[in-house]
Structure 1
Amino acid sequence: MEDTIGAPQPLAVTEHLPEAAVRYADERHWDVFPGSWLDESGGVQHCSCGFSGCPAPGAHPTHTDWPGQATGSGVAVRRMWSKEPRASVLLPTGRSFDAIDVPEVAGCLALARMERMELPLGPVLCTPNRRLVFFVLPGASAKVPDTVRRLGWLPSALDMVVRGDGDYVAAPPTRMGRGSVQWARQPTALNRWLPDAEELISPLAYACGREAAAQRNR
């Protein structure tokens, strides 16, 4: 019997950006930094960076020194967002966590399998551009390619992006494109301890491989 692909229900966005940023720093002890935001003129949304071809409208760093700007101090976070309350909430990866970014369909399939297998799960993001992002322990970028190969897959054949040192993810309730980033699995006291990437790679690789095959047959 084939797995049933059921999308997790993203949690409603109720917080304002500054409140969320402070909470991530104070409660999760995650580093946070402000990014670009969406402006609107004439009924058309555009990124605050002003570049018409912006690849990540409303959700990218605004300074090249953003790694040094990121902080886990709630006081510093409040000060940064007081200057621009519309700024997106960005979390650097490679510090408290790495992130494995996969297509939404594959991510939902993998998530269902993980839950049936009772695998430990950390927070999971759902983005408006139809991606699911799984939080795992730092060091994933060094482990995932070899682990995928041992499972019989070519890393280059899978739409799986590992975000580690020098990268970042956008956190809820950041608005980007046509919607807001939301939690498919929100941070709680129960998932404070993150899984190692190797614990999740098998269902993720299987789901991404299945999605790649489906794309080729369409």
Structure 2
Amino acid sequence: MQHVEDTLGARQIARDTLVETAVRYAQDRHWDVVPGASVVEHSAGRRCDCGHPGCATPGAHPILRDWAVQAASSPALVRRWWGEHPDAAILLPTGRGFDVIDVPEQAGCLALARLERMGLPLGPVIATPTRRLQFLVLPGARDKMGEMLRRIGWGIGAIDLIPKGEGDWVVAPPSRMGTSGSAAWAREPTELNRWLPEARELVSPIAYACGRAMADAR
């Protein structure tokens, strides 16, 4: 009985954390937010609550059909959504308040160290349980990424660097993603990184790190 009560208590704490964090993103950072699917315990293991047994992105996709239209930074609306879906993942649409440069974890950690040594500005950085790092930069980066990479000698498909912009999203901490774990902040949102960097300020060190990680893996 005590184990059941502990489990229920932990689940309630997790739900409280999700809704309060989603509200904070909307209220403090003015980021648009939208609810995502959640990962539920099942007799066959963890799976997405969307109902598709073969879901390719469990806990990491919107539950609203017109999510791009409905996504908003209204704390009241966020509370209503999570009141209806208390275990929903927190999704942040890209191409609005920010774009994202998504790279493998090894390259991302190398890039972080290099960027800090160079004294370059950094925004928040998400670490996913799928071993990726996602650098938040000013909007518009995805559409310029191909040209920026060509200027420094890389093709857009030559390295494992994925720009995310309008029409896409990221899963925000502390949301659970599949069976791998939960998203976390490698660099948390603070007052010091409220102003996001331009992608062109970061792309060269990040691309270099991606290239080096690929070479090391050979």
Under a length normalisation based on structure 1, what TM-score does the superposition of the two structures give?
Answer: 0.90
Following TM superposition, where does structure 1 have runs of at least 4 consecutive aligned residues deviating by more than 3 angstroms?
A: none
Deviation at 1:15, TM superposition (A): 6.5
Whole-Å separation in 1 of the counterparts to 2:50 and 2:61: 9
Structure 2: which amino acid aligns with 1:123? P
| Equivalent runs, 1:190-205 vs 2, <5 Å | 190-205=192-207
Residue 89 of structure 1 corresponds to which residue in structure 2? 90
Can you give the 5+ residue segments of structure 2 that lack an aligned partner in the other structure?
1-13
Deviation at 1:155, TM superposition (A): 1.4
Structure 2: which amino acid aligns with 1:108? C
Whole-Å separation in 1 of the counterparts to 2:15 and 2:80: 21
Q: SS state of the match for residue 207, structure 1? A: helix
Q: SS state of the match for residue 51, structure 1? A: coil
Whole-Å separation in 2 of the counterparts to 1:54 and 1:207: 32
Whole-Å separation in 1 of the counterparts to 2:127 and 2:202: 17
Whole-Å separation in 1 of the counterparts to 2:66 and 2:85: 18
Whole-Å separation in 1 of the counterparts to 2:206 and 2:195: 20
Deviation at 1:41, TM superposition (A): 1.5
Q: Is 2:35–2:64's contact at 8 Å kept on the other side of the alignment? A: no
Q: Is 2:96–2:166's contact at 8 Å kept on the other side of the alignment? A: yes
Counterpart among 169, 185, 188 of residue 187 in structure 2: 185
Deviation at 1:64, TM superposition (A): 2.5
Q: How has the CA–CA distance of structure 1 residues 207 and 188 changed in structure 2, closer, same or farther, with 3 Å as cutoff? A: same
| Equivalent runs, 1:80-119 vs 2, <5 Å | 80-119=81-120
Structure 2: which amino acid aligns with 1:195? P
Whole-Å separation in 2 of the counterparts to 1:103 and 1:110: 10
Q: SS state of the match for residue 16, structure 1? A: helix
Deviation at 1:129, TM superposition (A): 0.1
Under a length normalisation based on structure 2, what TM-score does the superposition of the two structures give?
Answer: 0.90
| Equivalent runs, 1:141-160 vs 2, <5 Å | 141-160=142-161
- Over aligned residue pairs, what C-alpha RMSD do you find? 1.4
Deviation at 1:14, TM superposition (A): 11
Whole-Å separation in 1 of the counterparts to 2:22 and 2:40: 20
Q: SS state of the match for residue 103, structure 2? A: strand
Q: How has the CA–CA distance of structure 1 residues 26 and 125 changed in structure 2, closer, same or farther, with 3 Å as cutoff? A: same
Q: Which has the higher contact order (CA 8 A, sep 6+)?
A: 1
Q: Which has the higher helix share?
A: 2
Residue 216 of structure 2 corresponds to which residue in structure 1? 214
Identity %: 58
Please tell me whether residue 65 in structure 1 is matched to residue 66 in structure 2: yes
Whole-Å separation in 1 of the counterparts to 2:213 and 2:116: 19
| Equivalent runs, 1:4-153 vs 2, <5 Å | 16-42=17-43, 44-153=45-154
Can you give the 5+ residue segments of structure 1 that lack an aligned partner in the other structure?
1-12
Deviation at 1:56, TM superposition (A): 1.1
Deviations 1:26-59 (A, max 9, x none): 1000000001000111261000112222121111
Whole-Å separation in 2 of the counterparts to 1:158 and 1:180: 26
